[in-house]
């Protein structure tokens, strides 16, 4: 079972990945948190947008190759290669922070890669409002995230909703992080697992 967890910055992807990997005794693959461009990006988005996204894409490609060569029966992935392109790179291009030439180059690499790898068996999408995202970003206290603009988060939320509802083709489990607190309420985790297993079983 290959399960990927998608969602905006601060939605709880890493935490849920940890919880589900532990629950299933599975291997967890986490998003790169020490990208060498990320601090520069948040200080000057237009200067570093392309470098940041290519770096994340390269990291995700390497992670996916490792996953595919693994003998693990179950794997959980914190964020997907699809989000890199359809959410973050696309948003930066629309905001004028990534040139059309850079975006086209990025998408050629993305398209080549995604034609060679399988989709997740299930994609878990963590839907969260801006207040929830801001609260969780502040709680985890990463210095480079402290100046993220709420309008930027809102744009990303809109991109996620469009992607989930109109672009992504695969099985999706949506969790409303505003009301389903899997950190504070263990029963929520049980419900998520039941729903996940039902989707995998095709019920």
- Known catalytic residue: 185? no
CB 13 within 8 A of CB 7: yes
Phi, psi of 28 (to 5 degrees): -110, 135
Calculate helix-pair angle for 186-200, 13-24, nearest 10 degrees: 70
Which residues, 6+ apart, have CB-to-CB distance to 164 below 8 Å? 6, 125, 172, 174
CA–CA dist 43, 72 (Å, integer): 39
CA–CA dist 172, 165 (Å, integer): 10
CA–CA dist 23, 146 (Å, integer): 32
CB 59 within 8 A of CB 35: yes
Structure-block tokens of residue 34: 């020490």
Cα 173–115–193 angle (5° rounding)?
A: 20
CA–CA dist 109, 85 (Å, integer): 10
Residue closest to 168 by CA, chosen among 105, 124, 200 = 124
Choose, from 78, 102, 178, 181, the residue flagged as catalytic.
Answer: 78
* Residues assigned a catalytic role: 78
């Amino acid at each position: 079972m290959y399960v990927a967890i998608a969602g905006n910055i601060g939605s709880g992807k890493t935490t849920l990945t940890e919880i589900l990997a532990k629950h299933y005794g599975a291997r967890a693959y986490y998003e790169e948190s020490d990208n060498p461009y990320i601090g520069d990006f948040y200080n000057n988005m237009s200067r570093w947008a392309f470098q940041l996204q290519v770096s994340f894409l390269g990291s995700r490609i390497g992670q996916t190759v490792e996953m595919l060569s693994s003998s693990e029966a179950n794997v959980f992935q914190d964020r997907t290669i699809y989000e890199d392109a359809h959410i973050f790179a696309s948003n930066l291009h629309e905001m004028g922070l990534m040139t059309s030439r850079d975006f086209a180059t990025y998408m050629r690499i993305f398209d080549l890669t995604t034609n060679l790898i399988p989709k997740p068996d299930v994609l878990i999408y963590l839907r969260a409002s801006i207040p929830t995202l801001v609260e969780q970003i502040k709680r985890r206290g990463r210095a480079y995230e402290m100046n993220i603009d709420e309008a930027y988060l809102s744009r990303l939320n809109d991109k996620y909703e469009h992607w989930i509802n109109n672009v992504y083709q695969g099985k999706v489990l949506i969790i409303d992080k505003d009301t389903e607190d899997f950190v504070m309420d263990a029963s929520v985790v049980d419900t998520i697992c039941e729903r996940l297993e039902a989707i995998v079983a095709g019920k």
